[in-house]
Amino acid sequence: MEEQKFLIVVDMQKDFIDGALGTQEAQAMVSAAAARITECKAAGYTLIATLDTHEENYMETREGKHLPVPHCIRGTAGWRIRPEIMDALGDDAILVEKPTFGSIRLPEISREKSGGDEPAVIELLGLCTDICVVSNALLLKAAFPETDFAVHADCCAGVTPEKHEAALETMRSCQITVI
């Protein structure tokens, strides 16, 4: 079987780019992220995109009480993946809704697509580096300790530049290559 390579595109949704929780840094990295997605697609990577997904009762949830900013409410404009990212992903990308920072389904989907084996390579990009990107990277790293991991720093943005850098350092500490 051909070695499996995955690109995990984390939460490239309007609310994290230029919506309720958007930042200038997030807006600035969209083109680079779309370009990397296009490169990986051309190279035969399996593309998986996560969608932070909350319901109308978000403010009543534990997360809503700690981050009282409604965002990524299912079906709203802010929940949707940015059009240029969706165009780069194409129709073959696997979309995974997740109700919290990390998706426990990602290792399961990755193992299934790898025919039960560990993937050869998992790369990540997206938003926010210090919350959802690092959460998913560490979940995947724990599930696949022999897989080569990388995160594309220029295709990620954190809540703040300082938190972005701190998350990158955390991933380096966990043997994830920062490109």
- Beta bridge partner(s), residue 124: 8, 151
Q: Is 60 helix (H, G, I), strand (E, B) or coil?
A: helix
Calpha distance 99→5 (Å, rounded): 25
- pLDDT value, residue 3: 84
CA distances from 140 to 14, 40, 149 (A): 25, 19, 9
Show me where the domains of the chain are located: 5-178
Average pLDDT over residues 45-55: 98
Structure tokens at 106: 């990602």
CATH H superfamily, domain 5-178: Isochorismatase-like (3.40.50.850)
Q: Kindly report, residue by residue over 136-154, the tens digit of the pLDDT.
A: 999 999 999 999 999 999 9
Q: Kindly report, residue by residue over 58-98, the tens digit of the pLDDT.
A: 999 999 999 999 999 999 999 999 999 999 999 999 999 99
Mean pLDDT rounded to a whole number for the chain: 97
Cα 122 from chain centroid? 12
**Over 90: is that where the pLDDT of 109 sits?**
yes
